Structure 1
Amino acid sequence: MTILLSVTGFQPTEWLNALQERAPRRAVILEPNSANDASVDYAIVWKQKPGVLAGLPNLKAIFSIGAGVDHILRDPHLPDVPIVRIVADDLTARMSEYVVWRVLDHFRRGMAYRAQQAAGLWHDRVQPAAHEMTVGIMGLGELGRDAAQKLGVLGFNIVGWSRTEKTVAGVESFYGASGLDPFLARTDILVVLLPITPETHGILDTGLFSRLKHRTPIGGPVLINAGRGGLQVESAILKALDDETLMEASLDVFETEPLPASSRLWKHPRVFVTPHAAATSNAQALVPQILAQIDAFERGEELQHLVDRQAGY
C-alpha cells in the first residue's frame, strides 16, 4: 500500500516524516515511480503538479492538505476518484483565532492607535460596545459556524450568508442571490470564508462593497478575507479604501500568491496583510485524521467530508 505525497509551494518534510512515523507499514513517496504507477493507492496533495494523478490506475482517493480543494480541481487531468477535504478541530480553531483577532483589532481601532503611536499622538477614540456591532460572515461551513459561535460569545451580533439555506444557532442567516443585499445592509465587519467556485470568483468587487453599510459604529465597514484570493478583486478593494467605501481591510489571501512586491496593498495604511497564514495545516494534527479515514475506508466504511465536484467544495 503506497501513499503519494504530492505538494508544491512548500517543503514537504514535516508531512513526509509524520506519515512515515504514523504509517510505518505503508510506503510514502514524493513522486510516482513511473508514468503509470500501479502501486499508489492514495494521494495526499497540495497544489499537485497537473497530470501527476492521472497516471495512477489504482488510485482510490485524494486527500487535500488544506480546507480548500480548488487547487485540486484546477487539474484538467484529474481522475474520477473521491476527493476528501480536511475538516479538523485544529484547522477550525486556527481559523477562528484569526477571525476573532482581526475582528477585535478592527473593532478596538488597532490600526488607528498604531498610527497614533508612531506619530506620538495621545487621542482617545470613541469605542462602541460589541453588542452595537454586527459581524457578517460569508460562508457558513465548518469554519464559518465556529467563528460565528466564538464571536457571539464576545457579544457581537452575527449575521451569515451562504449559497443555500442553513440554520446556525445564534446567527441570523441569509442565503442565495435574494439574501445577499439584506445581509450586506446589516453588516459592519464583513468576514469572508467562502470556497472558490465559478459563482464566487471575484464576488468581492465594487458592486458588493457599495451595498455594505455606509456608516457603522466604528466609522465605516471593514473587510476581512481569509477564504480564497480568487474571491477578491484587489483593484476594487483599493478603490473602495481610497474613496472610503471601506474603512479598513485585513487580507490573508490574494489573487497572486506570494503577493507581488509591487502591490499597493503592502504599504496601504489601512490594510493588514498576512501571508496565507490564517489557518496553516499542521501535519502532526492532520495526518492521524487522514490515516484514520484511509483505515476506515479499507474496512469498508464510507469516506467522510467528500467534495461535490459540481459545487466546487
Structure 2
Amino acid sequence: MLLLHLSDVEETRWAEKFRAALAPYPVVQRGDEFAPGDVRYIFVWKPKADAFEGLGKLKAILSLGAGVDALLKHPKLPDAPMVRFVDDDLSQRMSDYVVAQVTMHHRLHSRFQADQAARRWSQLYPPAAAARCVGIMGMGVLGQDAARRLLALGFAVRSWSRTPRTIEGVEGFCGAEGFDAFLGGTDILVNLLPLTPETTGILNSDTFAKLRRGGLEGGPVIINVARGGHQREADIARALGDGTLGAASLDVFEVEPLPATSPLWDIPNCYITPHIAAISSETAGVAYYAAIIKDHEAGKPLINVVDRARGY
C-alpha cells in the first residue's frame, strides 16, 4: 500500500507524520520516485491538473478538508470513494469563529465602532441574546456544532437544510418551500452549506432582502464561512451600502486572495478574514486518516464517504 500526498499545504510535515503513523507502509509525496499503479490512497485538497495520472488502482481519495467541491470539479477525478474530513478539532475551530462573529454583531460592534470614530458617546443597550435569531444554513457536522454552542449562549437558533433535520432547541426549515420562511425570522444569517450547483450564489440580493427587518439595530447580518462560490460580492457591497444589510463577516471569497481592487476592503461594516475560520490540524488529520486506512486495509468499510450526487 502506498499513500500519495498531494496538497497545497506544507507537504513534508504531513508526509513525515503519516510515515510515523502508518509504518511500515510506505508513504510518498510529489517529487518522490514511485510507480503510480502502486498507489492505493491519495491524500489531497486542491488537486493539480495531473494529480490522478496513472492512479488506476485507488481504493480511496482522502480529502484534507470537510468540503470537497474542489475535488468534484476536477476533470480527471477517478471513480473511487471520497472520504471527507470530520473531526472535533475542526468543528471547535469553526464554531469558535461563528460564535465570535455572532456575538460581535449581537453587541452592535459596527454601531459602537462608528461612534468611537466620531468621538460620540451614545448609549444603546443591546437586548439579551434570546432576542436575536441566528439562522444557520447547512446542518451537517459543523452546522450542528455551531447551533449547540449558540443555543448554550441563549440565542434563538433556526436552521435550513436540503432535507429535514430535527435538532433539540432549533427551529428547522428545509427545501425551497421553507427558505423564505426561514429567512423571514433570521437576524444573523450564518452560511455553512456545502457548495453545490444548487447553493452556488445563494448569498445574493434576493436572499438579503428576505431577512428579518427591525430585529437587529442597523439591519440583518450575514456570516459566510463556507465557500466563496456561495456569495455574490457585488450584491453584498450594494446591500451594505444601501442598508439592506447592517454588516457582513466574510472569511471566504469568489477569488482568493481577495483582490486589492475589491470594494469590500473599504466598507467599514464588512469584516474580512483571509480564509482562516478553521483549518485541518496535522495531528488530528493524520490520526483520523491513518485509522481509516488501517481499518480499510483490515476489511472495514470507509466512513464519511461523499455522496457524489449530492456533492457532500
TM-score scaled by length of structure 2: 0.96
Give the Cα–Cα distance (whole angstroms) in 2 for the partners of residues 189 and 236 of structure 1: 17
List per-residue Cα deviations over 1:46-77 (Å, max 9, x = no partner): 10112421421221101111110001111111
Please report how far the alpha carbon of residue 265 of structure 1 lies from its aligned counterpart in structure 2 after TM superposition.
1.2
1:126 equivalent to 2:135? Answer no
1:300 aligns to what? 299
1:201 aligns to what? 200
Amino acid at match of 1:199: E
Alignment coverage as a number of residue pairs: 312
Instruction: Name the SS of the counterpart of 1:136 in structure 2.
Output: strand
Q: Are 1:51 and 1:75, in contact at CA under 8 Å, matched by a contact in 2?
A: no
Q: Are 2:28 and 2:34, in contact at CA under 8 Å, matched by a contact in 1?
A: no
Give the Cα–Cα distance (whole angstroms) in 2 for the partners of residues 119 and 209 of structure 1: 28
Moved more, 290-299 or 124-133: 124-133
1:148 aligns to what? 147
CA spacing shift, 1:35–1:25, aligned 2, 3 Å: closer
1:243 aligns to what? 242
1:70 aligns to what? 69
1:117 aligns to what? 116
Q: Where do 1:33-44 residues align within 5 Å? A: 37-44=36-43
List per-residue Cα deviations over 1:249-308 (Å, max 9, x = no partner): 000110001111111112210011111111111111111011101111111111111001
Give the Cα–Cα distance (whole angstroms) in 2 for the partners of residues 23 and 218 of structure 1: 54
Please report how far the alpha carbon of residue 36 of structure 1 lies from its aligned counterpart in structure 2 after TM superposition.
6.4
Give the Cα–Cα distance (whole angstroms) in 2 for the partners of residues 48 and 25 of structure 1: 26
CA spacing shift, 1:26–1:233, aligned 2, 3 Å: same
Structure 1: which 5+ runs fail to align? none
Give the Cα–Cα distance (whole angstroms) in 2 for the partners of residues 293 and 32 of structure 1: 25
Amino acid at match of 2:82: I
Please report how far the alpha carbon of residue 42 of structure 1 lies from its aligned counterpart in structure 2 after TM superposition.
0.5
Instruction: Name the SS of the counterpart of 1:202 in structure 2.
Output: coil
Moved more, 27-36 or 231-240: 27-36
Instruction: Name the SS of the counterpart of 1:255 in structure 2.
Output: coil
Q: Are 1:2 and 1:41, in contact at CA under 8 Å, matched by a contact in 2?
A: yes
Instruction: Name the SS of the counterpart of 1:19 in structure 2.
Output: helix
Instruction: Name the SS of the counterpart of 2:37 in structure 1.
Output: coil
1:233 aligns to what? 232
Give the Cα–Cα distance (whole angstroms) in 2 for the partners of residues 26 and 94 of structure 1: 31
Instruction: Name the SS of the counterpart of 1:124 in structure 2.
Output: coil
Identity %: 48
Please report how far the alpha carbon of residue 119 of structure 1 lies from its aligned counterpart in structure 2 after TM superposition.
4.0
Give the Cα–Cα distance (whole angstroms) in 2 for the partners of residues 151 and 280 of structure 1: 21
Give the Cα–Cα distance (whole angstroms) in 2 for the partners of residues 280 and 90 of structure 1: 9
2:6 aligns to what? 6
Give the Cα–Cα distance (whole angstroms) in 1 for the partners of residues 79 and 154 of structure 2: 46
1:139 aligns to what? 138
Structure 2: which 5+ runs fail to align? none
Give the Cα–Cα distance (whole angstroms) in 1 for the partners of residues 119 and 159 of structure 2: 39
1:52 aligns to what? 51
Q: Are 1:192 and 1:226, in contact at CA under 8 Å, matched by a contact in 2?
A: yes
List per-residue Cα deviations over 1:195-250 (Å, max 9, x = no partner): 00000011111111111112213331000000111000000111111111000000
TM-score scaled by length of structure 1: 0.96
Please report how far the alpha carbon of residue 28 of structure 1 lies from its aligned counterpart in structure 2 after TM superposition.
2.2
Instruction: Name the SS of the counterpart of 2:70 in structure 1.
Output: helix
Q: Are 1:252 and 1:275, in contact at CA under 8 Å, matched by a contact in 2?
A: yes
Give the Cα–Cα distance (whole angstroms) in 2 for the partners of residues 114 and 55 of structure 1: 56
Amino acid at match of 1:4: L
List per-residue Cα deviations over 1:111-158 (Å, max 9, x = no partner): 333343344333322311101110000000100011001000111110
Give the Cα–Cα distance (whole angstroms) in 1 for the partners of residues 274 and 25 of structure 2: 34
2:190 aligns to what? 191
Q: Are 1:128 and 1:217, in contact at CA under 8 Å, matched by a contact in 2?
A: no
Instruction: Name the SS of the counterpart of 1:178 in structure 2.
Output: helix
Instruction: Name the SS of the counterpart of 1:197 in structure 2.
Output: coil
Give the Cα–Cα distance (whole angstroms) in 2 for the partners of residues 98 and 14 of structure 1: 26
Instruction: Name the SS of the counterpart of 1:38 in structure 2.
Output: helix
Instruction: Name the SS of the counterpart of 1:191 in structure 2.
Output: strand
Please report how far the alpha carbon of residue 33 of structure 1 lies from its aligned counterpart in structure 2 after TM superposition.
5.8
1:176 equivalent to 2:178? Answer no
1:19 aligns to what? 18
Q: Are 2:106 and 2:216, in contact at CA under 8 Å, matched by a contact in 1?
A: no
